[in-house]
Structures are given as structure tokens and as C-alpha cells.
A and B are shown apart, each in its own frame.
Chain A
Amino acid sequence: MSDAFLELARTGKLPSPSGVGTRILSLTQDESATVDDVAEVLARDPALTGRILHVANSAAQARSVPLTTTKEAAMRLGLRSVSSIAVGFTLVSSNQSGICEGFDYAAFWSRSLATAAAAGMLAREIEPALAPEAFTAGLLSDIGRLALATVNPVVYTSVLGSWHGKRTELLALEQKALGIDHAAVAARMILGWGMPSLISGAIEAAARHLPEGGPAAQVRLARILIAADHLGTHHVGKGEPSWQEDAELTSLLEALGIDVLDLAGHMPDIEAEWRELASDLAIKPLPPWDEAGAAREDPAAPKPEGPLILAVDNDPIALKVLTNCLHRAGHRVAPASSGEEALALALQHQPAILITDWQMPGMDGLSLCRALRRCEIGRSLFVIVLSGRDEADACTQAFDAEANDFIQKPFHPRQLIARVKTALSLHAAQSSVANEKEPTAAGEALGDDTERDHQTGLPNRLFATSHLTSIFGSSSKPLSVIALGIDGIAEVSSTLIGQDLTRQLAEHLKEVLRRDDVVTCTASGKFLLLCPGANLLDAAGLADRLRIGIMDAKIGLSGHVEALTVSAGVAERSHVAKTPAALLQLAEAALEMGAMDAPNQVHPAA
């Protein structure tokens, strides 16, 4: 009863058309859409228009008058053909890289373009009317593999690792590991994009190497695809002609009624079209290589730049919003739809930032965070937990799991981007600090680093927790904690203003406090002071002196903002606050509750 394809679709990670492609998709689903509607949408993307006209003109007979507008193309080739070509091209533009380690994205598209060019040519030879569909089908003939690699990057890497190179063997491996194979995935996706069943049926049949069965046109198209795939995989771009001695190719072409020797006149055209398409789409035309096992000789595929952000949510819509936010802000993103998948991806790709939803079936966001903190790479990772939970202690629980930041769901895109920006600058600062250290001191530096707030240079929450734990039971003298927060920081915490105020206040605190007072910065504008030997009254007194001192120091931005004020929450170790976490929580709760009603005051915990 479970449908493996729907499961894939539900992750929200299947490759999908972008930009104009999505508008075309909705038009093809609209019965009343006309040639003019499609032409109008296409007119917004001149580059795409150029590509469509190019394909349309090579599909049309050479003797006819060249087509110059997409409207003419749509009238000559049919609306659906033109829409399919458009959707196919936007898929190329939006899926040129990814994070499946075993999957060669550059080679994938290079070969898909070769197959498209070959399929278009073969169709013109035997059935010109089929040429535009053949081109689109060639371009998308392997889209199912891209989809599996994108949705299940970790599993698919191991599938590819155990593959020996036969097409049909790959289908069986996929079925075993993922419960579905690329032939079925491709057919379902293509139907879902409103393309004709001629294309989806032929692609599935060709991928299974079972062209027979189905309508006559579909059988012919499937045969064309099998031969085109063979040409694209083994011959296009090879340099010296190698196809004359290829017995398999000879029989594939024979099935189409083409003599292999006739290829002599066509191979240069296929090669030329392949190179032209590749340069137009900014894809490197790569020579054929043995995909399974042996690494490609030309490892020139450029690695994408920039730190990686791992985004985790089991809800496809939330994941899509999250990855879209990050993409549009120019970040490199790896999506994951479960905690388990995220853990595997994090270990493999070492992201700089992890943004994870809290509540997920199986491994939830906090378990993921804890698991990663136990690993080497997880220590320098900046973790942002997202949650729709409205309990008051949600944030504290997240910090207890050693998350660095907490964002309430649903978030505002701008808010998220600002927090990520801060996280990235912290990560960059941390990496450069780590690189400067002597190699022998690396371990020490890391320990030091993870317990320091990089914005202020003060120790952070991690340090506060571990230090408090170490002194908590060691003396019978009283022990108190002061939580200090800049009033109104929530509104500016992720902005440069917030960062600047936090830095200024940190400098002030460093000056006025004695060397052995422990002051830590736990978040933008938030500080924790550990006061061994002080009871509630002593600590409240200290907090009030600090508060007045801070007002007198007139900290703020030159000119336009009023001098900042702080509120404080104070708590003492007691039968209520009988653990370090409970003590911190009590002080922070007193601050949160108090600052809301009465800012610029000290609030002892009840």
C-alpha cells in the first residue's frame, strides 16, 4: 500500500523545473491555455527562447523557413512539444550540482545533452515528426537517476559503489536499496510535469531495455532512446571514430532501419550540436568514461564554493521554504528529510552550519545535535534548532542539547538569513583561528574554541554549563547566577546593531568585574555571571550595581540610539535549583519574565 514514488515526492527534494519552467507547467495543466499564453511566458526568458528555437529549427526539416518566434515554434511543433522542451531545459539549469558523493553531476548533464542531440538526429532520420519529443526524451532519459541521487544521496552513493556498469543491474540495485528504480521514478516525474505519456513511456521502456509493448510511436521512440543512449555513453566526444566496430550499436541501429555506415554523415552534426548545447548551458562537454568503478580521468568538475549549510526538516513544505531562503541568499545547501539522513550527510560533507527542525519521527533535532557534538566534526558545527513548540523551556532544552541558536517556527525569511549570516561569520572566524594555531596545539585550541563566544571573546554557554557543573557541589558556601540581558535585544539580536551593542557591553563587563568573576556571553546581548560565595541578596546587589554602572557608561551607538539598559534575573542554588541546568534556567526565566514587564531592573527568582 505504500507507494515508493509518493514517499520520494513527499520529501520535497525531487528535482523540479525552475523559473519560467514552473509557469509553463501550470499552463500545461490549464485546459484553456493558448499558444499566446505560452509564448508570453517564454518571452520573459530570452536565453530559453533561443534554446527552444534552436531545437525547433533542427527538428524541423532543413528546407522549411526557419522559425523565429516561440509562437511559430508552438504552432509548427505543437504546444506540448514546445512546453516539454522548455521544462526540460529549466531542469538542466537548476540541477547542475548536488551533494550525492558517488554521483557525477557534470558528467551526467554532459551525457544527457549528448543523448538528446543523438536522439534528435536519429528521429530526424527515421521519423521527423518525432524529433522534438526525441530530443526532450533524450535530455530527460536519465532524470530518474538524478532524482534518486538528490533525494537519497547517501544510499545512492553506496548503490553506485556496488554497481558494475550494466544498466539493468543498476535498476535491480536501486530497487533493492530504495524500493524503486530510476526507470519508474523518471516515468512518474515526467507524467507529473504534464508531458505526454509517449515520452514517459518510452523513457521507462528504454531504461529497462524493453522497447516492445505499448503504442507503435512509443516503441520507436524507445528504440531511438536506447541507441541514442548508447551513442551518448560510448561514442559522442570520443575524438576518433570508434563506432564502426561496435556490434551492439550496429544491431541497435538496425532495429531502427539505419545502416551503421550512414552514421558517418551524422556523427559530426551530433557532436557539433552537443558542444553548442553544452556551451550555451555552461556545461562542460566531457568525453565518455567508464561510469561504474573507475574514476573519470578528467576530474575537472569544479567543486562548488562556500561553506555548506545542512538543512533538516521532515515536512517537505518547511524544507522547501528553508532551502529556498538559503539558496536565494546565495548559500550552498544540502537538504535532508530526517535526523538519520542528516547525521550521515554531516559526517560525509562536514557542513559549517546545521539548521534542523526539532520534532521529527525517529532521530529528532536535539538527538541529532547531541550525536554530532560527540563527533570530531560536530564540535565546530554551528547548530540552529527550529521549533514550533511553544513551551517556555523549549529554548533552554535546545541549549542544553548544545545548540548554538534557536529560532521559532514559522520563521520570517529575513530573520533566518540574518541569523545564518552571523553564524557564518562566527564559523569563518573560528576556522581562521583554528588554522593559525600550531598543529601541536590543535586539540587544545579546539577545546578552547568551542567554549568561547567569538563575537565578544568571552566564554560561552558551553563553558558556563561545564564550569558551573564543576563548582556546583564542591563547596557548602552559597552559589548564585546572574542572567544579564540588554533590554529590547530580541528586536536587534541578529543584526549588526545587536552585535555591536553586545561587544560594547562585553568590554564594559570585562573592565568592571574582577578577574576571578566568571562572566560568559551566551547569545547576542545575553550574559551569564557565575557568583560562587554569593547568596541571592549578594548577587542581586551586584546585579543592581552593574545595571547602574552600565547606565552611567552610556553604552550605545554614536548619535541615534538611546544608551542601552539591562535587566537581570538572579537565582541561588537551592532545593528548587538543585542541578546546574536548573539554576541557569531559573536565572534566565527570571530575566525573561521580569524584563518583559519591567525593564532596567533586577529580578530575583521567586
Chain B
Amino acid sequence: MQDQPVLDRAPIVDLLDLGGPDLVQELTELFFSDTPGLIAEIETALEAEDWEALTRASHSLKSSAFYLGALALSEISRLLESSSRSGEEAHCKELSAQAPVAYEAAKAALIQMRSELPPA
């Protein structure tokens, strides 16, 4: 997963094409307000060994991270989703510890990207 970039700009270019900087602004805000909750859900589910909740939360995270090009985070979530399906606890724990780090990196990259956007 180290191969995946923190931020791939191609999806952002698509979103810009679709809805301009406003849409990117709105979606990133949604991402920033939503993701910490999902990561917390992942941690809680893992502690409670609730594999279903873990699968669900990591599936959501995989999808929203992908839409914004946060590929490293999306890849961690994808692996987490498949490990949670098979109940591989040790692997899940390792991945879930990486998620907050990947999120912070993605957030910083998205904020940087946003500041470089052309005006609306």
C-alpha cells in the first residue's frame, strides 16, 4: 500500500470539471467532517470485535476516500474491509492503526490542493 500516493489529483480534476471549485470545497468539507467519525467507528468496532460494523465502516471510508483521490487511505480501507470479512484480527489492528495517519496526510494534501484551485 506504500505504492499508493497520498493524493491522486485525477478525481479532483473530474470533480472540478463537474462542479467547479465549489463542489470540491463542499465535498472536502464533508470528508473532513465525516472521516474522523468513521475512523472512530472502525476503532470501536475492532475493540468490540464487531466484524460486520468494521466491514461497513471501512467500506464507507474506502468509497469516500476514493472519490477525493485519497488513494493511500482508500487502499488501507479496502484491505481493512477484506480482512474484516475474513476476521483477521491482527491484520485489522495493524491497518486500523495506519488509518488515522493516512487520513491526516490526505487532509493536509487536500487542504494544500484546495489553496491552489482557481477562483470560482
Name A's B-contacting residues (CB within 8 A): 6, 9-10, 12, 16, 18-20, 22-23, 25-26, 41, 44, 314-318, 320-321, 324-325, 328, 359, 361, 388, 409-410, 412-413
Q: Which residues of A contact B119 (CB under 8 A)?
A: 23, 41, 44
Q: Least Cβ distance of A80 to chain B in Å?
A: 19
Q: Which residues of B contact A23 (CB under 8 A)?
A: 21-22, 25, 119-120
B17 at the interface (CB under 8 A from A): yes
Q: Which residues of A contact B25 (CB under 8 A)?
A: 22-23, 25-26
A41 to B21, CA, bound (A): 13
Q: Is the CB of A388 within 8 A of B62?
A: yes
B109 at the interface (CB under 8 A from A): no
Q: Which residues of B contact A359 (CB under 8 A)?
A: 59
CB within 8 Å of A: which B28-77 residues: 30-31, 33-34, 37, 56, 59-60, 62-64, 66-68
Q: Least Cβ distance of A33 to chain B in Å?
A: 13
B14 at the interface (CB under 8 A from A): yes
In the complex, which residue of chain B has the Cβ closest to the Cβ of A7?
B37
Q: Least Cβ distance of B77 to chain A in Å?
A: 11
A23 to B26, CA, bound (A): 10
Q: Least Cβ distance of A318 to chain B in Å?
A: 6
The count of residues in chain B whose C-beta lies closer than 8 Å to any C-beta of chain A is 29
| Cross-chain pairs A/B with CB under 8 angstroms, 20 sampled | A9-B33, A10-B37, A19-B22, A23-B22, A41-B119, A41-B120, A44-B120, A315-B63, A316-B30, A318-B64, A320-B26, A320-B30, A321-B67, A324-B18, A324-B19, A359-B59, A388-B63, A409-B63, A410-B11, A413-B17
Q: Mark B69-98, 1 if CB is under 8 A from A, else 0.
A: 000000000000000000000000000000
Chain A binding surface, main DSSP class:
helix
B23 at the interface (CB under 8 A from A): yes
In the complex, which residue of chain A has the Cβ closest to the Cβ of B53?
A361
In the complex, which residue of chain B has the Cβ closest to the Cβ of A9?
B33
B15 at the interface (CB under 8 A from A): yes
A26 to B33, CA, bound (A): 14
A19 to B119, CA, bound (A): 11
Q: Which residues of A contact B37 (CB under 8 A)?
A: 6, 10
The 9 closest A-B pairs by CB, nearest first: A317-B64, A413-B18, A22-B22, A315-B63, A22-B25, A324-B19, A317-B67, A315-B60, A23-B120
Q: Which residues of B contact A19 (CB under 8 A)?
A: 22, 120
Q: Which residues of A contact B120 (CB under 8 A)?
A: 19-20, 23, 41, 44
In the complex, which residue of chain B has the Cβ closest to the Cβ of A388?
B63
Q: Is the CB of B59 within 8 A of A317?
A: no
A12 to B27, CA, bound (A): 9
A316 to B21, CA, bound (A): 18
A26 to B111, CA, bound (A): 11
Q: Is the CB of B59 within 8 A of A22?
A: no
Contact among A25, A317, A361 with B30 in the assembled complex (CB-CB below 8 Å):
A317
Q: Least Cβ distance of B19 to chain A in Å?
A: 5
Q: Is the CB of B18 within 8 A of A314?
A: no
A409 to B120, CA, bound (A): 28
A413 to B33, CA, bound (A): 24
A76 to B66, CA, bound (A): 45
Q: Is the CB of A328 within 8 A of B68?
A: no
